């Protein structure tokens, strides 16, 4: 019942209340009992928007979840507690939670012997930083910490050459970067690390690094200010590429150079977009080809988002950019036409999984994270 989004409200609310009490009152609880309670609690608040139900218990829930994170008697208890904490934060954010959880999460990432716990803690740290009241300076500190993991191939957290840990760090770095407006000073060291990870033998690492590169190129362009002169009307310019799909789109202006060895970068991206090797499965090769074709397109034209296609409307003869869409039940489709939107969508889906659509429709916090106009069908 707790896994069913259509469960009767009285049923899931009663079960949720019982599960919260079991998590908070750890006396005489067994490891298996805590694992079961944490799993059921996470299923319920993922499938249902339960902010009114958990708000009054937040002050007791967070410390109880941290006890299972820091002192979990099994890998499963630790991992499920971390996931429960992340969904709790998205359901009912608080400006004080980042300070309460930061050290415990960082310690788990550094000291846990479990790869799954490290990965879950990295993702939960990203969620806690985004929704837990971290300042811009604190957000940058977390991104620097994640960059150390990336630069060291996981060695900085005792996870040497672990692609899953490095991928998690790359994904959360990109998610947090969507919050920051001015990234000129932090772009160079980040780009050096991401370009190096393009040489990884793990496709997931390569794709996550590439998506961060595309995001940084996108962020190097901002809207033309009222007191600025428009750039030359060049058909190959970035501003023209942006307005080709939408004549009402704002003019975008390049503010700084993202990477000095851009020709070399484009060559690497093109190689990945056309990679042919028996070492990889068909699925991995297709994923590399699709993603790096997008990433290369955005490096060459930073105002073009993921899945951009320079197509022509057969009726009007005008060019347009056909981009990624996400179906939201019967309400319509959400256009993912910028890399920052894709990063946030992926981050929310990592935490909410199958409950994303329900939260998007009912959880204001989730909608505010991705405030995208839905095209009615």
More confident residue, 165 or 334: 165
Confidence of residue 373 (pLDDT cuts 50, 70, 90): low
What's the average model confidence in pLDDT over 347-376?
A: 87
**234-272 b/e with 16+ CB inside 10 Å = b?**
eeebbbbbbbbbeeebebbbbeeebbeeeeebeebbeeb
What's the average model confidence in pLDDT over 298-314?
A: 77
pLDDT at 1 over 80: no
pLDDT at 308 over 90: no
Contact 305, 337 (CB under 8 A): yes
320 forms beta bridges with 311
Task: List, for residues 211-257, the tens digit of each pLDDT value.
Answer: 999 999 999 998 877 667 666 654 444 444 444 445 566 788 888 99
Of all residues in the chain, the percent with pLDDT exceeding 90 is 70
Per-residue model confidence (pLDDT) at position 243: 46
Task: List, for residues 311-332, the tens digit of each pLDDT value.
Answer: 545 555 555 555 678 877 666 7
Q: Which run of H or of E encompasses 321?
A: strand 319-321
| 240-245-248 Cα angle (round to 5) | 80
Per-residue model confidence (pLDDT) at position 68: 96
Alpha-carbon span 159 to 96, nearest angstrom: 30
Alpha-carbon span 102 to 125, nearest angstrom: 7
pLDDT at 185 over 60: yes
pLDDT at 2 over 50: no
More confident residue, 176 or 284: 176
Domain boundaries, the chain: 10-112
Per-residue model confidence (pLDDT) at position 223: 81
What's the average model confidence in pLDDT over 256-269?
A: 94
Q: Mean pLDDT lowest for which of 61-75, 91-105, 308-322, 326-340?
A: 308-322
Q: Concatenate the DSSP letters of all residues of 269-285 into one string.
A: HHHHHT---TTS-HHHH
Alpha-carbon span 216 to 225, nearest angstrom: 20
Contact 13, 21 (CB under 8 A): no
Contact 89, 131 (CB under 8 A): yes
């Amino acid at each position: 019942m707790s896994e069913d989004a259509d469960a009767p409200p009285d049923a899931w609310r009663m079960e949720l209340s019982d599960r919260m009490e079991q998590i908070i009152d750890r006396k005489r609880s067994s490891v298996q009992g805590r694992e079961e309670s944490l799993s059921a609690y996470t299923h319920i608040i993922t499938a249902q928007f339960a902010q009114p139900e958990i708000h009054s218990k937040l002050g007791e829930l967070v410390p109880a979840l941290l006890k299972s994170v820091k002192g979990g008697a099994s890998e499963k208890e630790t991992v499920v507690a971390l996931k429960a904490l992340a969904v709790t934060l998205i359901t009912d954010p608080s400006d004080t939670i980042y300070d309460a959880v930061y050290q415990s999460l960082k310690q788990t990432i550094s000291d846990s012997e479990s790869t799954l716990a490290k990965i879950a803690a990295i993702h939960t740290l990203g969620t806690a930083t985004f929704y837990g009241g971290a300042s811009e300076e604190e957000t940058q500190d977390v991104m620097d910490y994640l960059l150390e993991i990336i630069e060291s191939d996981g060695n900085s957290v005792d996870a040497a050459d672990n692609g899953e840990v490095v991928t998690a760090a790359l994904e959360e770095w990109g998610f947090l970067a969507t919050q920051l407006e001015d990234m000129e000073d932090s772009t160079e060291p980040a780009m050096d690390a991401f370009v190096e990870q393009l040489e990884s033998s793990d496709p997931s690492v390569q794709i996550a690094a590439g998506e961060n590169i595309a995001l940084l190129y996108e962020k190097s362009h901002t809207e033309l200010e009222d007191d600025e002169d428009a750039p030359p009307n060049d058909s190959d310019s970035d501003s023209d590429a942006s307005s080709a799909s939408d004549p009402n789109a704002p003019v975008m202006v390049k503010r700084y150079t993202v990477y000095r060895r851009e020709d070399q970068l484009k060559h690497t991206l093109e190689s990945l977009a056309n990679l042919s090797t028996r070492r990889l499965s068909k699925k991995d090769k297709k994923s590399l080809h699709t993603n790096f074709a997008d990433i290369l397109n955005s490096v060459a034209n930073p105002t073009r988002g993921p899945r951009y296609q320079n197509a022509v409307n057969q009726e009007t003869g005008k060019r347009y950019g056909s981009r990624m869409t996400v179906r939201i039940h019967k309400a319509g489709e959400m256009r993912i036409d910028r890399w920052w939107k894709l990063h946030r969508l992926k981050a929310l889906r990592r935490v909410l999984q199958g409950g994303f659509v329900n939260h998007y429709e009912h959880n204001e916090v989730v909608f505010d994270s991705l405030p995208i106009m839905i095209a009615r069908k």
